[in-house]
Amino acid sequence: MNIYLIIIVSALLVEFLLNTISGWMDVKNLKTSLPSEFEGFYSRKKYVNSQEYLKVNTRFSIMTSFINLLVLLVVIFIGGFNFVDIYIRSFGFSPLVNGLIFFGILFLLQDILSTPFSVYHTFVIEERFGFNKTTPNTYLVDKLKSYALLLILGGGVLSLVLSLFENMGEYAWLLVWVVLAAFSVILQPLFTAFIAPLFNRFTPLEKGDLRNEITRFAKKVDFPVERIDVMDGSLRSSKANAYFSGIGKKKRIALYDTLIAEHSNKELLAIVAHEIGHYKKGHIIQGIIISIIQTGFMLFMFSLFINNVKLFQAFQMESLSVYGSLMFFSLLYSPLQMGLSIVNNYISRKNEFEADNFARENTGSGKELISGLKKLTVNNLGNLTPHPLTVFLNFSHPPVLERIRTLK
C-alpha cells in the first residue's frame, strides 16, 4: 500500500479519535456541584443548562466530524480528486486557471456539505439555548459577503502562489514565503478598515465615564489607540467579547454591545486592560513571527513534494500539477500541523496568563477582571471543568477556573 496514503489516512483517523475521546471525557468530567468561585453567579438552573449545552455541542461536533471524515475518505479511495481534475483539464485552460477552478470546485462541494450543519447549529442549537440573534437574511448576506472576500482576497493570493510555484523553480517557496509574510502583516489594517465593517457596524463609544476611563488607562500604559468603538455583536448572537485590531497608531478597541450591557465600567476596563496586555507583552508580534516561521517551514517542506509521483498515486491521480501537489501535501502535512497547533495553543494559554497579570497589576486589583470573567463565562454558558486532554489539544485560553485562581 502507498506509504503516503497510510500516513494521511492514519493521521485523519488519529485526529478524529483524539477529538472524539477528548469530547467524551469532557462530558464525563462534568461536576454536579457548582465550584465555589461561581456561587452567586451561576444559578442552579443555568449551571445545568451550561452542561446540557456542552453535551449537545459535543454530540453535534462528533457527528459532523465523522461525516466530514467519511466523505473525505470516500473521495480519496474512489479517486474523486482525479475525477475533478479530468473534468477541469477537458476545457483546455492554463495550469493556473485549472488550479483556481480545482480549488473553487472543492470549496463549493465542501461548503454544500457543511452549510446544512452550520444552519442547524445556528438556528436550532444556538436558538435553543438563547444565543442566536441571526435572521435567515443576515445569514445569507454573510455567506455572500464571505464568498466575495474569498474570491477577491483568497483568489488573488492563491493565483500568485500558484504562479510563483509554476514559474520560479526551486526557490519559488522563498518568494511565496515573502508574499504570505507580507500578506499576514497587511491583513491586520485591512481587517480593521475594510473586512470587519463589511459584517458589523462600528459606532464610536459615546462620551462618558467608560470612554474617559479607557482613554486614561491607554495613556497611562502608553497604548496608542485611535478609536474606541461599540460593535453590534447582538445582530448575530447574545454572546459577548472584546478585541483590538490594527497596527502602529491606527489601533481600534472594539467592545461588543452585548459586553457593555452585562458588565460594569470597572469590569469593562479590566477586560480592555487584558487585551492591551497582549500588545504590551509583545504577544501580537510574537504571534506574527511564529506564524511566519511556521509558514516558511511548511513551504520549504512543500517544495520537496511538488509533483511527487507517489503522493499523486495515493490519490489515484493521472496527471501531475502544482495545485494537486498543494492539495495533497496539505493532507500529508496534517500530523505536523496538529503538533504545531498544540504548541501554539500552549503558548497562547501562557500569554493569556501574562495578559491577565498585566491587567491585575495596572488596574490595581484582579477583582474586576475576575468578576468580568465570571460574567462572560456564565453569559456564554462556558464549561467550568474541561478535561485536561481537551485543554491540551484545543484550548487557546486556560480554563476559567485556572485563570481566576491564578489572579487570586
Using alpha carbons, list the distances in angstroms from residue 304 to 172, 173, 178, 301: 11, 10, 18, 5
pLDDT digits (tens, 9 = 90+) for 23-80: 999 999 999 899 989 988 888 889 999 999 999 999 999 999 999 999 999 999 999 9
Residues near 177 by beta carbon (within 8 Å), at least 6 away in sequence = 292, 295, 296, 299
pLDDT digits (tens, 9 = 90+) for 112-152: 999 999 999 999 999 999 999 999 999 999 999 999 999 99
Cell of residue 36, nine digits: 465555589
Percent of the chain with pLDDT over 90: 78
Distance CA 133, CA 234 (A): 7
pLDDT digits (tens, 9 = 90+) for 363-397: 988 899 999 999 999 999 999 999 999 999 999 99
Grouping H, G, I as helix, E, B as strand and the rest as coil, residue 173 is helix
**DSSP class of residue 227?**
E
* Cβ–Cβ under 8 Å, residues 328 and 312: yes
Cell of residue 254, nine digits: 472594539
* Cβ–Cβ under 8 Å, residues 375 and 267: yes
Structurally, at CATH architecture level, domain 202-262 sits in 2-Layer Sandwich (3.30)
Cα 97–chain centre separation? 29
How is 38-71 classified by DSSP, letter by letter?
GTTTS-HHHHHHHHHHHHHHHHHHHHHHHHHHHH
Residue 321 pLDDT class (50, 70, 90 cuts): very high
Residue type, 261: A
Place of cell 495550469: 95
Q: Is the pLDDT score of 20 beyond 80? A: yes
* Cβ–Cβ under 8 Å, residues 199 and 341: no
Place of cell 462528533: 62
Lowest mean pLDDT among 141-150, 198-207, 312-321, 324-333: 198-207
Cell of residue 281, nine digits: 507583552
Sign of CA dihedral 20, 23, 29, 30: negative
Q: Is the pLDDT score of 1 beyond 80? A: no
pLDDT digits (tens, 9 = 90+) for 262-314: 899 999 999 999 999 999 999 988 999 999 999 999 999 999 999 999 999 99
pLDDT of residue 44: 87
* Cβ–Cβ under 8 Å, residues 22 and 390: yes
Distance CA 97, CA 74 (A): 26
Q: Percentage helix, strand, coil, to 5, in the chain? A: 75, 5, 20
* Burial class of residue 107 (count of CB atoms within 10 Å of its CB; 0-12, 13-18, 19+): middle
pTM of the model: 0.90
Cell of residue 344, nine digits: 501554539
Q: Is the pLDDT score of 251 beyond 80? A: no
Distance CA 142, CA 104 (A): 19
Grouping H, G, I as helix, E, B as strand and the rest as coil, residue 113 is helix
Domain range summary for the chain, segments of one domain joined by +? 3-132+283-353, 202-262
pLDDT of residue 41: 87
Lowest mean pLDDT among 59-73, 196-210, 323-337: 196-210
Percent of the chain with pLDDT over 70: 99
